[in-house]
Structure 1
Amino acid sequence: MIRDVLDDLFSKKFLDDHLDEWGIVEHCDHPTSLGYSTTITPRTIYEAVDRSVDVIVTHHDAWKFMFEQRDEVCGLLQDKGLTHIWAHLPLDLADFGTSSTLLTKIGCHHVYKSSEGEARIGELPAPTNFQSVCSTLNSLLQEQPRSIYDANRTVQRIGCVTGAGIYTSYIRDAMSHDIDMYLTGETNLYLLEYARHHELNVAVYSHNYTELPGVEMFAYRLCSSLKLEMKGHLGDAHF
């Protein structure tokens, strides 16, 4: 049943071709409720138990490189009888996914999707000052930016790679489509230096919360298809 819903959302062929980018772990035979977060941790599971959630939906799995935390998550899911559904690349590429949904939520219409599909470009209805765009994001994401570069130019076109959009190649590609601002969920020295070189506005928020609007959209679609009660966001760290 869950796999059928995922096939409808992302296409069976795509999921079959990317088996390491999504997953279903079922420990609840008759689920009635669903909650979501960007990243699954032991804290997520305890919150789910406290709120009588049967199905946890996330963007990130408990990755192997998290070592003993992954072991604890897997053990807790089994011990507490919870089902976990996650979609990483499929959600990044979906038209209702991470970058696409974030741009829509701040009032953009979509003008470009990169060939790899992770990067999106949206356009605001009219030129807006950079501080105003950041204020909208602050309210939506319930956090302040982790880093910014204010190039003192108005913003209409925004390039967006939620999560780990740290690569200068993403900015270079987006600039070929006349962006005024780059929005992402992680940064490093080179990203900001490259943006400054081109006098491009940059806003960096947390990895978890730039992706949360897309995760929420995914969770609500699953909830509707599986006819479950929505229990809401289970919490994420503002890292």
Structure 2
Amino acid sequence: MLRGDVSIDVSKIVERINELFNVTNKEIYASESGVTYHADKEVKKIGYCVNLTLETIEEARIHGVDMMITHHDAWDEIYGLKEACTEKLAAYGISHYYNHLPLDDCNFGTNDSLIKKLNLEIIKRTHEWEGLFFGRIAQYEKEIEFKDFVTKLEFLLEEPVRFWQFNDKMVNRVGLVCGNGGTTACLKEAVENKCDVYITGECNLYTI
């Protein structure tokens, strides 16, 4: 929430967010972030979450939010979701801004933040798309047991995680893609970098 009764224009908020990023390609940055709906009113209260869905918009309405900031836009893969979300945003008078790959890539974003919490050292940025890197290779100074690594993750996330252990090796080098990371080409990059563990934000059968 903004302080007191202060209100601010959506464009000023977006401008402030954009200043946080080192934008090297404006066209690519604009294709992976931006305002998807402008309610044409000043913003007093901001709500933020990972995904734009009908449920999160409803939650924003309940809490009197004027503008939603999300990591993901409404998923194109779910037929009709984007249109339905736009209709609901318009009905409730809620503006929406998202920032996807630039947030995955930046040093305060999803990948780097998790690595720091896990006390890992970043070795290299990986999984490049149009100059943005949505993956990381990191490693421990001292290797740990896989079960201890899983426990550490669950403690940080405050959620159970799904895991598959296919060997008895200790964990030293970690490949991370906080987003989907499901394609076998993404997995291949982790293998080529000799990772002991591959972490993704989502999972599917052919990756396993």
Shorter-chain TM-score above 0.5: yes
1:136/1:72 Cα in 2 relative to 1: closer, same or farther (>3 Å)? same
* Larger mean Cα displacement after TM superposition, 131-140 or 171-180: 171-180
- Aligned partner letter, 1:178: K
CA distance in 1, matches of 2:166, 2:31: 38
* Larger mean Cα displacement after TM superposition, 154-163 or 9-18: 9-18
Which structure 2 segments of 5+ residues have no match? 1-11
Aligned length: 192
Aligned partner of 1:183 in structure 2 is 199
Larger Cα-atom Rg: 2
Which residue of 131, 136, 147 maps to 1:120?
Answer: 136
- Aligned partner letter, 1:69: L
TM-score (norm 1): 0.72
Aligned partner of 2:13 in structure 1 is 2
SS in 1 for 2:64: coil
Which structure 1 segments of 5+ residues have no match? 193-239
1:48-197 matches, within 5 Å, as 48-114=60-126, 116=128, 117-192=133-208
Aligned partner of 2:8 in structure 1 is none
The alignment yields a C-alpha RMSD, in angstroms, of: 2.1
CA contact (8 A) 2:23 2:29 kept: no
CA distance in 2, matches of 1:12, 1:29: 28
* Deviation digits for residues 37-83 of structure 1 (CA, Å, limit 9, x no counterpart): 11111110111122222221111111344333222211111121212
Between the aligned residues of both structures, percent identity stands at 30
Cα deviation, residue 18, structure 1? 4.0
- Aligned partner letter, 1:49: R
Structure 1 position 32 matched with structure 2 position 44: yes
Cα deviation, residue 158, structure 1? 0.8
Aligned partner of 1:236 in structure 2 is none
TM-score (norm 2): 0.81
Cα deviation, residue 93, structure 1? 1.7
Tell me which of the two structures has the higher relative contact order, counting C-alpha pairs closer than 8 angstroms and 6 or more residues apart: 1
- Aligned partner letter, 1:113: R
CA distance in 2, matches of 1:79, 1:122: 45
SS in 1 for 2:152: helix
